[in-house]
Amino acid sequence: MGRLGTAISLFFKVLFNRETAEKAQAVLLLPPASEAPAKEAKPEPPKPAAPPKPEVPPGVDALVLLAALQREARFLDLFQEDLSSFADAQIGAAVRDVHRDTKATLDRIFGIERLRGEEEGTKIAIPAGFNSLELRLVGSVGATPPESARLVHAGWKATKCELPKWNGEPEAAKILAPAEAEV
C-alpha cells in the first residue's frame, strides 16, 4: 500500500475511532522534526553536598592500635593496674592471657616475624657493607666492622600493616575502651 492508500485508511480510522483521532491530532500539532526547537536540557537538580568527613585527629593510628590491643587482649587493664597488692602467681596467670592475646593481635595486624633465622647465641658472618637498619653491632666495635659476631637478638620485622580504620567522631578518637556497667 502506497502513501495514498495509507492516507485513505488513516482518514477512515480517524473518522470512526476517537482514540486514533486523538493520536493523529497530537501528531499533527507537533512541528516537523526539522523545525522542532532543540529540547532544552533540564538542569539536574543540585546533588546534596556530601557531609564533611570528620577531621582525623593527630595520632589516631596509634590510638586505634591501642584500642585494638585493649579490646582483644585487655592490654591496658594489665599495665594500668597497680600490681603491688597481687601475688606473683596471680600476676603470672593474668599475664599469660594478656601475652597470648596481645601476640595474636599483633600477628594479625602486622604479621610479625623474626628478622634473622639463626638462633641467638650463634656466630654469624658480618658482610662488608651490611645494612645497619637490619643489624646493629653492639659491644666493642672498632672503626672497621668485624667479619663475624655473636647474635644476641634476632630482631623483628613486620610483613604487613593492616591497622583497623578509625571512622568515628573526633571526640571519640581518644576513647580506648568504654566503661562497663553490669545490670
- Report which of residues 23 and 99 the model is more confident about: 99
Model confidence pLDDT, tens digit, residues 53-64: 767 777 888 999
Does the residue 22 lie in any domain?
A: no
Q: What is the pLDDT of residue 103?
A: 96
pLDDT tier for residue 113 given thresholds of 50, 70 and 90:
very high
Domain count across the chain: 1
- Here the cell at position 92 is 603470672
Does the residue 153 lie in any domain?
A: yes
Q: Can you tell me the mean pLDDT for 90-118?
A: 94
- Report which of residues 29 and 115 the model is more confident about: 115
Does the residue 121 lie in any domain?
A: yes
Q: What is the pLDDT of residue 30?
A: 65
Does the residue 154 lie in any domain?
A: yes
Mean of all residue pLDDT scores within the chain: 85
CA distance 56 to 69: 20
Q: What is the pLDDT of residue 106?
A: 95
CA distance 181 to 177: 13
- Here the cell at position 179 is 566503661
Q: What is the pLDDT of residue 74?
A: 92
pLDDT exceeds 80 at position 5: no
Which amino acid is it at 12?
F
Q: Can you tell me the mean pLDDT for 25-36?
A: 66
Query: Domain span at residue 102?
Result: 60-138+146-165
Q: What is the pLDDT of residue 54?
A: 64
Does the residue 79 lie in any domain?
A: yes
Model confidence pLDDT, tens digit, residues 153-172: 999 999 999 998 888 887 78
Q: What is the pLDDT of residue 58?
A: 79
Q: What is the pLDDT of residue 40?
A: 64
Does the residue 12 lie in any domain?
A: no
What would the 3-class secondary structure string for the chain be? CCHHHHHHHHHHHHHHCHHHHHHHHHHHHCCCCCCCCCCCCCCCCCCCCCCCCCCCCCCHHHHHHHHHHHHHHCHHHHHHCCCCCCCHHHHHHHHHHHHHHHHHHHHHHHCEEECCCCCCCCEEECCCCCCCCCCCCCCCCCCCCCCEEECCCCCEEECCCCCCCCCCCHHHCCCCCCCCCCC
Does the residue 176 lie in any domain?
A: no
pLDDT exceeds 80 at position 88: yes
Does the residue 112 lie in any domain?
A: yes
